[in-house]
Amino acid sequence: MKNIVILISGGGSNMAAIVRAAQREDWERKFGARIAAVMSNKATAGGLAFAKEQGIATAVLDHKAFESREAFDTALMAKIDHYDTPDAPVLVVLAGFMRILTPGFAAHYAGRLTNIHPSLLPAFPGLHTHQRAIEAGCKFAGATVHLVTAELDHGPILQQAVVPVLPDDDADTLAARVLTQEHRIYPQALRNLLSK
């Protein structure tokens, strides 16, 4: 069995897309994988309610309660590692988790830590990707699922989706179209990882 732990900070729409895909496609039977827990750095994260409704264990670890990024990451690793055993190695999935993780965290889960970013990496790492793509005159934008390394929004690309930038797009309309593709490609990328 592989245990999937999903980290969120907000509404968790990508998390919900992954959970629904895992249920619909019976990842437990097909890949020996289950969504073991959903964790957040914010008690108000809307996605926690969805996870609870699905019978998935949830946990909150408030980053503001820690004096350093390293201290928070160490505590978060301890919570995640509760699900990490030789019989059930953990896959850590960042799904709108709005924290920059330390190199130690990335190294601890090397090859097992995924993220989705709302641009066609390596273009536009960081924040405000849709506005930056529009201002740069891009004809296409999109989303990228990648393995996480110590460098922000880098690491091997697992899956991408391309979305046209329309003449009347603003950051919100473009973001909405990109998000529909995120919901498609994140479960797909995880499916591919689990089937290896």
Task: Return the CATH number at 99.
Answer: 3.40.50.170
Residue 124 belongs to some domain of the structure: no
**pLDDT computed for residue 68 by the predictor:** 97
6 touches 18 (CB < 8 A): yes
Task: Please report the pLDDT score of residue 50 as a whole number.
Answer: 98
Look at residue 102 and tell me if it is in a domain. yes
Please state the domain count of the chain: 1
Closest to 193 in 3D by CA, of 73, 77, 102, 90:
90
Residue 126 within any structural domain of the chain = no
Please write the tens of the pLDDT for every residue from 32-78. 999 999 999 999 999 999 999 999 999 999 999 999 999 999 999 99
What pLDDT sits at residue 140?
A: 98
| pLDDT surpassing 90 at residue 122 | yes
Q: What pLDDT is attached to residue 188?
A: 98
Torsion angle defined by CA atoms of residues 30, 35, 36 and 37, in that order, rounded to the nearest 10 degrees: 170
Q: Clarify whether 154 is annotated catalytic.
A: no
In a domain, residue 84? The reply is yes
Domain extent, residue 35, equals 2-116+145-157+183-194
Which H or E run contains 36?
strand 33-40
116 DSSP β-pair partners:
145
User: Nearest to residue 173, comparing CAs of 146, 137, 141, 144?
Assistant: 141
Q: Which of 108, 117, 130, 183 is catalytic?
A: 117
Q: Is 71 a member of any domain?
A: yes
> What would the pLDDT profile of 89-116 be if each residue is shown by its tens digit?
999 999 999 999 999 999 999 999 999 9
Per cent of the chain over pLDDT 70 is: 100
Quote the mean pLDDT of the chain.
97
Q: What is the mean pLDDT of residues 168-178?
A: 98
Considering the domain boundaries, does residue 24 fall inside one? Answer: yes
For position 168, what pLDDT does the model report? 97
Has residue 196 got a pLDDT over 90? no
Q: Which amino acid is at 44?
A: T
Q: CB within 8 A of 175, min separation 6: which ones? A: 118, 130
Q: State residue 63's pLDDT score.
A: 97
* 106 inside domain: yes
Residue 188 lies in a domain: yes
Condensed to tens digits (0 to 9), the pLDDT of residues 53-63 reads 999 999 999 99
